[in-house]
Each structure stands twice: as C-alpha cells, then as structure tokens.
Amino acid sequence: MRVFSFTKADRILKHLDFVRISKKGKRLQDTYFTAVYSTGRLERTRLGITVTKKVGNAAVRNRIKRIIRECFRLEKQKIKGCWDINIIAKKAAEAAGTDQMFSSLQGIFKKIEGKFDN
C-alpha cells in the first residue's frame, strides 16, 4: 500500500529547489498546466505545485492542488528516472473538470517519462 503514498519526501518544499528547477529545467506546456522539470538530486521523483491567485479563489486553488497531488500519487510509479517536477496551473484549469485535468497531467507525466529514454 505504501507504493501509492504521497509522503513529505515526495514534495518539493524549499524555495531554492523551485528556483533551481525554473532556471535549469525544461518546460512542457498544456492547455491547463505548465510543467517545469529537471533531473532530481535525490533518488526519487518529487513534485512541486504552483497555483497563483490568478487561477481562482482559495477553494478553487485547493481543489486544483488536490487533483494534481492525487494524479501524481497514482502515476509516480510509472515515471522512470528521478525528476523534480513543478506543475504550474493556468487560468484555464479553473473551469476544467477533474477528468480533463487528470488526462492533461497524465500526458505531461508520459512526456517527462519519455525524456528519460533520450
């Protein structure tokens, strides 16, 4: 059961890590999200989430963050390699349904996984 957990070690929490990813990372754009990713410094794939006030009120932002965390929790075992990934929500995510956001995030994670082979 621990395979599908989302612990504190799976999160990017420090400001310096977010800055490092934004400076040295590569970007992937989607309708609802922008993903900035770089090779990880630890032996696991970690996730950072950025949802600004432009996206919506607190309830909307929290809903989007919950969906991102849940999708990552279910998909992280499929991602090969050790990545630091920062998912940035766009304004369009406010009106998107859960299924739309899940499919968008799954596509982003598949593209990042494909970068491991190259």
Predicted confidence (pLDDT) at residue 8 exceeds the cutoff of 90: no
* Residue 116 counted as domain residue: no
Q: pLDDT tens digits, residue range 46-66?
A: 999 999 999 999 999 999 999
83 neighbors 38 (Cβ within 8 angstroms): yes
- Tokens at 47, concatenated: 């996730």
**Total tally of structural domains belonging to the chain:** 1
Contacts of 7 (CB under 8 A, 6+ apart): none
The answer to whether position 118 is within a domain reads: no
Q: Give the model's confidence band at 30: pLDDT under 50 very low, under 70 low, under 90 confident, else very high.
A: very high
Structure tokens at 76: 């992280």
Summarize the confidence of residues 100-105 as an average pLDDT: 95
Range of the domain at 20: 2-111
Look up tokens 């949802």; give the residue: 51
Looking up residue 8, the CATH number of its domain turns out to be 3.30.230.10
pLDDT tens by residue, 67-78: 999 999 998 888
